[in-house]
Structure 1
Amino acid sequence: MQHTTPHSFTELEHWLNERRVTEVECLVPDLTGVARGKILPREKFTEDRGMRLPHAIVAMSVTGEQPPSGPYYDVIEPTDRDMQLRPDPTTVRIVPWATDPTAQVIHDCFDAQGKLVPYAPRSVLRRVCDLYAAEGWDPVIAPELEFYLTARNTDSNVPLRPPIGRSGRAETSRQAYSIDAVNEFDPLFEEIYEYCHVMGLNVDTLIHEIGAGQMEINFFHDHPLGLADEVFFFKRTVREVALRHDMYATFMAKPIAGEPGSAMHMHQSVVRKDDGRNIFSNPDGSPSDAFFHYIGGLQKHVPTAMALVAPYVNSYRRLSRYTAAPINIEWGYDNRTVGIRSPISSPEARRLENRVIGADANPYLAMAMTLACGYLGMKNKIKPKPEMKGDAYLSPYALPRSLGEALDWLRRDTDLHEVLGKEFITVYTEIKELEFAEFMKVISPWEREHLLLHV
């Protein structure tokens, strides 16, 4: 049955009846992008019209921890109170891999006063979109999401390796844009596309990226909140299908040493709500002041916001010179070495591509971050640097080099705090400090190899 979009709880009930759904996965994306929630029998879902979970469920580290003390608890009460989760009917999808008819619905988080929980990722993106709406603007987003297929790996001490394809061999060389390299995994991709069709996910082009076993999927442009939901569902789908084909799918920013990292390139533009005109172009087709101010906002605020889109220690292994990833926030027309690229397009489709975002970023926070930076640029009329017409890889680093440095930069950008929400910034930075401290307890093979007998 083709996917349709209900817009009320009554329409949602009809949707579930048509598909004879017996179970509902009630989902909420946490800071990492992990699907948290409960699986309810259909009757229980209908009766409750939502569920309750502790506030901290959406504010945990990737290892499931919360800080023992500190500013985190100025925002989240240590008594571990419940929040009310309400289903968003527009997000309902069938779970294609479930044995019994099962639906999945994303929920929004509300506190006891009926207000959106400000540090839930979906709330953060809603907040930024509301700022655009107040100006009479509609932001338009189109993500390009890279990921790796790898052989199964049950021992975290063993490096990842490319999977075996139909030929019985694993890739050992660069296969960028190779059709035959994609065809090595035809059964897997046919199932991914089938599931995406059933779920109504607006995926577009599939290509083979530079790395061994590295793929990219492009999404059609749309409103940010709906697209963030689709990326959230897509990640879940790809992981599930890969397991069914005896592989792993990973969205780590740098999963394999010596191979390029994985990005979530974000194309973005802004149109007027009243007439749909792209505000990045003047009536004569030339780039507008808003276009340049948006670039200026990205250049000023993206470096300080990197902890939101390079959220793990691993993320900064991708952002290094000559690895097909940007190291600064220069901008240019049709220049893939810069952090902010303006692709070739008609004036009506003029857009900017943020190339610094990692595939490991939470899609809600990634979209909120890049839109927030552009919003500040337009509101404050920030002028950009001159266009970079050469190789930006030769320019100095302008992005933080580690998660610790990125968190320091983020804490200092008070303009960004106002747009994204101070409570969110407090919770997020506290959680990321906890993750960084956890990582620093681990001794790496490099340290044993080079320091054990030499220092």
Structure 2
Amino acid sequence: MSTKLDQLSSWLKERKITEVECLISDLTGIARGKISPTNKFLDEKGMRLPESVLLQTVTGDYLEDDIYYDLLDEADIDMFCRPDENAAFLVPWAIEPTAMVIHDTFDKQGNPIELSPRNILKNILKLYANKGWKPIVAPEMEFYLTKRNSDPDFPLVAPMGRSGRPEVGRQSFSIDAANEFDPLFEDVYDWCEIQGLDLDTLIHEDGPAQMEINFRHGEALHLADQITVFKRTMREAALKHDVAATFMAKPITDQPGSAMHIHQSVVDINTGKNLFSNEDGSMSELFMHHIGGMQKYIPELLPLFAPNVNSFRRFLPDTSAPVNVEWGEENRTVGLRVPEATPQNRRVENRLAGADANPYLVLAASLLCGYMGMVGQVPASAPVTGRGYERRNLRLPVTIESALERMEACEDAKEYLGEKFMRGYVAVKRAEHENYNRVISSWEREFLLLSV
């Protein structure tokens, strides 16, 4: 540990960092932690935070006492957060030389905290490593740029681009539409290069000012860290250019939702050979079982892919998002697409996750579903050819309530994710949904106020 901290200390001193943002991810994906002068950060070799921050809802509320104290120590004790020297990133938008360092969380005995999203992903990666396997992932993040909006009662609208006009209509893959925001994305690419983020391509998606950033393939933990950093970076760049960036799954009525597409494959940890392909280049049994596991378990763990009530609006009819776990080759109308590729690059693209999902938990869940399929030899269905939106055999739960009930009952997943995590996650999401249900919507005021 001291050698690793020495490396981090040298990294900070070489860059003349004066301030360190010490981060962990809570269950919702919000970055929580402390900001510390570099000298203090190096002296303390980490930080302490109340374990309870992991069980905060997206509104900042806590659970009811009976659930809260059943999952946590009644004394509201601290957890110990240790910096990961491989998860240190510069903060290019800060006035003073600043770095953000992602931490791992432990109890006072040195055991990893069971409720920590980063620890959950590390546990799933250990399952693969114990089999001699290594997952490779390549996430694609969709998001919207919108006009700054200070009143949540008003709908979001597209921002002004360089032309001085807001975007209208569908501009899929339009270079000119993407170029409307060139100054913003020049900053994004400059900042991401400074941070060492492995960005690949920028694409204009279907919706007005809806964009997609693709990451190069790599190790799951490192990419989950990068997504966490990228979302902060994208929001900061947008604010600098007087617009907003949102990763809500469905921010604008009657427009496409925003997904986090996850390309995933599995290679031999020693040789690097893609285990999804046979020697003759055909699809392997492990590949088919991986797909079978995703088909069986994604509907059981859907709240990890669609964590908010807004997430389920992506799955409404005619929204262009897949609504089932069917699979097909070069087929974007199903939840699990197998892109055309060489045998060494064979992979499956999970198209079901929302951009609002916690990156650690969604990568852990997607890989766990495939892992359970591989070890359990779960058969895959026949591939879909043609349009798959209307296929009903493998449909997803349609509400957050029903999805949470299925997740709560999934005994197979509890074995790997842990009962404490499963209970805590479901409780947080139920608390958020109860909070949502208390809000009177504009639809109710518009159609019920003077009519019923």
Deviations 1:208-240 (A, max 9, x none): 000001000000001100000000000000000
- Residue number among 135, 140, 143 corresponding to 2:139 in the alignment: 143
Aligned partner of 1:92 in structure 2 is 88
The alignment's TM-score, normalised by the length of structure 2, stands at 0.98
Q: Structure 1 stretches of 5 or more lacking a match?
A: 1-5
- Residue number among 143, 156, 163 corresponding to 1:160 in the alignment: 156
Q: Give the superposition deviation at 1:390.
A: 2.2
AA in 2 matched with 1:23: E
User: For 1:240 and 1:219, how far apart are their aligned partners in 2?
Assistant: 19
Aligned partner of 1:429 in structure 2 is 426
User: For 1:72 and 1:354, how far apart are their aligned partners in 2?
Assistant: 33
Q: Is the 8 A contact 1:211 1:260 kept in 2?
A: yes
User: For 1:452 and 1:416, how far apart are their aligned partners in 2?
Assistant: 45
Q: Is the 8 A contact 1:301 1:373 kept in 2?
A: yes
AA in 2 matched with 1:256: I
Q: How many residues align?
A: 450
Task: Give 1:292-441 correspondences, 5 Å limit.
Answer: 292-396=288-392, 398-441=395-438
Q: Secondary structure at the match of 2:145?
A: strand
| Range with greater deviation from structure 2 (263-272 or 16-25) | 16-25
User: For 1:234 and 1:413, how far apart are their aligned partners in 2?
Assistant: 32
Aligned partner of 1:35 in structure 2 is 31
User: For 1:394 and 1:222, how far apart are their aligned partners in 2?
Assistant: 34
Deviations 1:130-186 (A, max 9, x none): 100000000000000000000000000000000000000000110000000010000
Aligned partner of 2:268 in structure 1 is 272
Q: Secondary structure at the match of 2:112?
A: coil
Aligned partner of 2:179 in structure 1 is 183
Q: Is the 8 A contact 1:92 1:106 kept in 2?
A: yes
AA in 2 matched with 1:155: D
Deviations 1:254-293 (A, max 9, x none): 0000110000000000000111111000011000000000
Aligned partner of 1:11 in structure 2 is 7
Q: Secondary structure at the match of 2:163?
A: coil
User: For 1:422 and 1:68, how far apart are their aligned partners in 2?
Assistant: 18
Q: Give the superposition deviation at 1:77.
A: 1.6
- Residue number among 226, 232, 239 corresponding to 1:236 in the alignment: 232
Q: Structure 2 stretches of 5 or more lacking a match?
A: none
Q: Is the 8 A contact 2:276 2:284 kept in 1?
A: yes
Q: Give the superposition deviation at 1:398.
A: 1.1
Q: Give the superposition deviation at 1:7.
A: 7.9
User: For 1:72 and 1:378, how far apart are their aligned partners in 2?
Assistant: 35
- Residue number among 22, 32, 36 corresponding to 2:18 in the alignment: 22
Aligned partner of 2:203 in structure 1 is 207
User: For 1:321 and 1:7, how far apart are their aligned partners in 2?
Assistant: 54
AA in 2 matched with 1:432: K
Task: Give 1:249-260 correspondences, 5 Å limit.
Answer: 249-260=245-256
Deviations 1:169-210 (A, max 9, x none): 000110000000010000000000000000000000000000
The alignment's TM-score, normalised by the length of structure 1, stands at 0.97
% same residue = 52
User: For 1:307 and 1:16, how far apart are their aligned partners in 2?
Assistant: 38
The CA RMSD over aligned residues, in Å, is: 1.2
| Range with greater deviation from structure 2 (70-79 or 81-90) | 70-79
Q: Secondary structure at the match of 2:270?
A: coil
- Residue number among 279, 285, 288 corresponding to 1:289 in the alignment: 285
